[in-house]
A and B are shown apart, each in its own frame.
Chain A
């Protein structure tokens, strides 16, 4: 598939809004989910209660 330049690539034959609207939102969500996961893990680790007895 030869697009003959980036302008044509971004225009997507006149369907740019629909194609990039799909890919853009998907990319955003697939970036946000791993960030949310890291925050959840960090919060879970912070809430670990202290050990009752020191490690032997």
Chain B
């Protein structure tokens, strides 16, 4: 079979683009990501609840930040990664790339829901309301609908190749919403506060609070990689069920 060969430092990346090669590799990597995610989560919770001090304005309610911010970051990042795999999939026609896009969507929806849920529970004591239709909250809600739309569309198309392409279009078009979410607090007058952590300014929070948030963010990354690898393996089994290699491995 003729394939374009992308050589990087002597490694043929397309070798890993084949489900057959990737399946066992993903299986070996999975437990490492899962267990380190658990370790970082425990460390983050310890710092968040037993080291970080009480906030002088919000009291203890601010401790929701240790899930809210990592979940919100993750909800946006996962969509960007989905768009990335969708572009790779459309460009190189690699099935595994599209499988990666599909594998990440439910976890993206999950983190988006967590960001909205924890935001509501944080908004009530600090703003006096569970929900407000400001630009940040509304664009994050649209993100949740984009994830649902992606999954519904893929579930509704029987031919996997067509489902891949249709999903890729939603992933790529919808990614426009991510910078809108991110910059919404700058572009519009929102009830939601501006960024406490950014690449250009020093963070406006205590170091221990920041440490707890970063540990939880790393845990969220590792968790997402672990569940993503697990789900993509199931998708490979579902799609390659006629292939001999998968039967050799499991029957």
A interface, CB within 8 angstroms of B: 1, 3, 9, 12-15, 17-19, 21-23, 25-26, 29-30, 33-34, 37, 40-41, 44-45, 47-51, 55
Task: Report whether B61 and A45 are in contact in the complex, using a CB–CB cutoff of 8 Å.
Answer: no
* A residues less than 8 Å from B50 (CB atoms): 1, 3
Judged by a CB distance under 8 angstroms, whether B75 is at the interface is no
With A15-B61, A17-B121, A45-B237 already in contact, 11 other A-B pairs whose C-beta atoms are closer than 8 Å: A1-B49, A1-B50, A15-B125, A19-B64, A25-B114, A26-B71, A44-B238, A45-B250, A47-B241, A48-B247, A48-B250
B interface, CB within 8 angstroms of A: 49-54, 59-61, 63-64, 67-68, 71, 106-107, 110, 113-114, 117-118, 121-122, 124-125, 223, 227, 230-231, 233-234, 237-238, 241-242, 244, 246-248, 250-251
* B residues less than 8 Å from A47 (CB atoms): 238, 241
Task: Report whether A18 and B107 are in contact in the complex, using a CB–CB cutoff of 8 Å.
Answer: no
- Bound together, the chains give a CA A38 to CA B248 distance in angstroms of 20
A19 with B234, Cβ < 8 A, contacts A45-B250, A48-B251 known = no
* B residues less than 8 Å from A26 (CB atoms): 67, 71, 114, 117-118
For the residues of B in contact with A, the DSSP-based class is: helix
The 8 Å CB contact of A48, one of B63, B67, B71, B237, is B237
- Bound together, the chains give a CA A48 to CA B61 distance in angstroms of 49
The 8 Å CB contact of A1, one of B53, B125, B241, is B53
